[in-house]
Structure 1
Amino acid sequence: MLAAQEVLKRGCCWRVGIGYDIRVMTDEWIPNHPSNMVICQPQEVKWEWRVMDLIDWTVGAWDRHLIETTFHKEDADAILQIPLSRRLVPDSLFWLHNRDGVYSVKSGYRVACKILKEANSACELCKRTTETALHALWECSVAQEVWAGSMRKQQKAAGSQLDFLHLVEVLMLKLSREELELFFVQAWLIWTQRNSVVFGGVIQDPSRLVKRAGEFLDEFKQSQVQLAVTRVETRCSRWIPPLGSTFKLNFDAAIFQDIKSSGFRAVIRNNQGEVMAALSARGPSVQDSEEAEVLACRKALEFTIDSGFSNIVIEGDNSVVMAAIPSSRLIHSRLGNLYADIHCLVAGLQVHSVSSVARFSNLVAHSLARFAHCINDEIIWLEESPQPALEALYVDSN
């Protein structure tokens, strides 16, 4: 266990609950952020500063003004993206390197290899300098021999770069699309060869790698032509009214990258297809589609309860989220607290079924989610058809 401590420390991250156990400056608690920690030191740091001090408990949300005026913009934006539970839940640790937040031997082995590689960071092939992505794929003498036989224009186009991303940006400005495609294939082959050598393989002749890069690129292009099919969108998957006295809740989410926010929508209809209640709301910036859909689901269930409906069927178009709603399994990922919020809300309703449906069966909710781009807060419709979704409602009725 003592030997594995470093692996666990590097692979775990705090999931914010009430924030009492998490130290702002020294703990790892900001997922999808470099080092998962606050990067830039604020001008004023409080003694024993805890994450709970950054939450406005009157509304149960991040104290945006405090965070934006205290932290560097990159840190502030990352903190404000962390979703908070509606409930007072304890802080907990989750494993960063698996989607479900649970440790596995395979992912732990990868973290251990990364730690060992950093400890022995000299280039495995030339033994001359620290191994970075730029060195491994471009500056190493072994890589240079391959590039010399591949495309001299690439070597001439690039000068002194800070890192591999900078190199790619330079080449994108100077090379054609075909030359860039060959560059990426060649870089992949160089990386594959390095991995092979590290685990006991031998260095191949540079001309062989150059030839293979051209062959792989030709094979890929040919396969794209052979696999190309005409996309036919069938209309057989329609919205189906609920049975009897039950009501159907459809929800969806949208991500607006241009304004760094998201959109939620929900619509509740009866067995005649009539809209009983509908919602379109602007949401926060999110890290991925799963987070957007989870937040939309929670918002839709809260809207359902507030509108006085309890006898419902739930439909959404994200299979991961819909599978998690009826599950009793504890979810350990960074979104685990949000899923737990949803389970608490569902427990107070009479839910007959939970289904994942095709986007075409969720058009009304999808239309309202896109409409959220045009509003600042939220709009609610009660027993009337939402204007932004009239076309989708017409499609469903026919």
Structure 2
Amino acid sequence: MESKAIQEFAVVASKIWWRRNTLVFKGVFAHPKVIVQEARTTLDVLDEEISNQGDRANKICTSVEVWQAPPLAWIKLNWDSAVDKARGLVGVGVVVRNSSRKIIATLRTKKHLYPDPLLVEAFEALKMVQFGLELGLTQIIIERDSLQVINNLRRDKEGCNSTSMYVHEAKQLLGNFAKWEVSHVRRNGNSLAHLLAKDALSSYDHIVMLEDLPPCIQLG
């Protein structure tokens, strides 16, 4: 299959999946004509982006102090974790935003896990990538305030422990995206994901919200 056909299939499939998620999580039905129109618009934007900027696949971005919006037609996922050592719980928060800086989805989830820092970072990276696939995203920038986990995702080889297994699975799943990049941001640029992770420790096991803001996030 030619790359153009693959791109068209990926965009249409992602729109259909987003339509399904919107119906399941928000009870909102989108007419098929709307999906077709949105897919055509996205494909036009992608063509323009490719012609103007060329291939941006799988590059590491430089560290930045504050959060920055992704380029047109790209989606950025910021993620973080929080640990409750007393209960042996790890909370993971993911916030998904588009080029207009709009929050289109959030995830709060938790798991009983040994609170080893490297193990926690590997687990949260896997949950973030899985969430991106569940949303049907195609071009993503994944961003975290930990250089350790960023570098782990970029390495060609992993070890044979539990941490490496999570990292390996996350990297395997990243191959399902049409394009992806890894970015590092300073702590204050990842604050929303951190708030979600902390709230996950006291929330239900798995909470997904589309477009609506969780109460733990206060935006001015």
TM bracket (short chain): 0.5 to 0.7
What is residue 302 of structure 1 aligned with on the other side?
130
Residue 349 (1) aligns with residue 166 (2) = no
CA distance, structure 2, for counterparts of residue 260 and residue 273 of structure 1: 34
CA distance, structure 2, for counterparts of residue 250 and residue 300 of structure 1: 8
**TM-score normalised according to structure 2 size:** 0.67
CA distance, structure 2, for counterparts of residue 294 and residue 378 of structure 1: 18
CA distance, structure 1, for counterparts of residue 129 and residue 99 of structure 2: 19
What is residue 93 of structure 2 aligned with on the other side?
265
- Residue 333 of structure 1 deviates from its aligned partner by 4.1
Which has a greater percent of strand? 2
- Residue 360 of structure 1 deviates from its aligned partner by 0.5
What is residue 111 of structure 2 aligned with on the other side?
283
Q: Which amino acid aligns with 1:302?
A: Q
SS at match of 2:171: helix
- Cα deviation, 1:36-80, whole Å, max 9, x if unaligned, reads xxxxxxxxxxxxxxxxxxxxxxxxxxxxxxxxxxxxxxxxxxxxx
- Residue 346 of structure 1 deviates from its aligned partner by 0.7
What is residue 293 of structure 1 aligned with on the other side?
121
What is residue 256 of structure 1 aligned with on the other side?
84
- Cα deviation, 1:222-243, whole Å, max 9, x if unaligned, reads xxxxxxxxxxxxxx82110001
- Cα deviation, 1:232-280, whole Å, max 9, x if unaligned, reads xxxx821100011100010111111232211001111001111111101
- Residue 281 of structure 1 deviates from its aligned partner by 0.8
Residue 315 (1) aligns with residue 143 (2) = yes
- Residue 322 of structure 1 deviates from its aligned partner by 0.7
- Residue 290 of structure 1 deviates from its aligned partner by 1.6
What is residue 375 of structure 1 aligned with on the other side?
203
The unaligned stretches of length 5 or more in structure 2 are 1-63
Q: Which amino acid aligns with 1:375?
A: S
8 Å contact kept, 1:255–1:289: no
What is residue 246 of structure 1 aligned with on the other side?
74
Instruction: Give the total of aligned pairs.
Output: 157
8 Å contact kept, 2:93–2:109: yes
SS at match of 2:216: helix
Cα separation, partners in 2 of 1:252 and 1:351, compared to 1, 3 Å: farther
Matches within 5 A, 1:106-117: none
- Residue 325 of structure 1 deviates from its aligned partner by 1.0
SS at match of 1:242: coil
Cα separation, partners in 2 of 1:287 and 1:378, compared to 1, 3 Å: same
Q: RMSD over aligned Cα, in angstroms?
A: 1.6
What is residue 16 of structure 2 aligned with on the other side?
none
What is residue 389 of structure 1 aligned with on the other side?
217
Q: Which amino acid aligns with 2:95?
A: V
Percentage identity across paired residues of the two chains: 25
CA distance, structure 2, for counterparts of residue 284 and residue 318 of structure 1: 22
Match of 1:274 among 92, 102, 105: 102
Matches within 5 A, 1:144-293: 237-293=65-121
8 Å contact kept, 1:250–1:268: yes
8 Å contact kept, 1:278–1:382: yes
SS at match of 1:320: helix
Which has the larger Rg?
1
What is residue 130 of structure 1 aligned with on the other side?
none
CA distance, structure 2, for counterparts of residue 334 and residue 279 of structure 1: 23
Q: Which amino acid aligns with 1:349?
A: F
- Cα deviation, 1:269-325, whole Å, max 9, x if unaligned, reads 001111111101112222312211111110111111111112100101221111111
8 Å contact kept, 1:255–1:286: no
Residue 363 (1) aligns with residue 168 (2) = no
CA distance, structure 2, for counterparts of residue 318 and residue 351 of structure 1: 22
The unaligned stretches of length 5 or more in structure 1 are 1-235
Residue 339 (1) aligns with residue 167 (2) = yes
SS at match of 2:140: strand
**TM-score normalised according to structure 1 size:** 0.38
- Cα deviation, 1:118-143, whole Å, max 9, x if unaligned, reads xxxxxxxxxxxxxxxxxxxxxxxxxx
SS at match of 2:201: helix
CA distance, structure 2, for counterparts of residue 366 and residue 292 of structure 1: 14
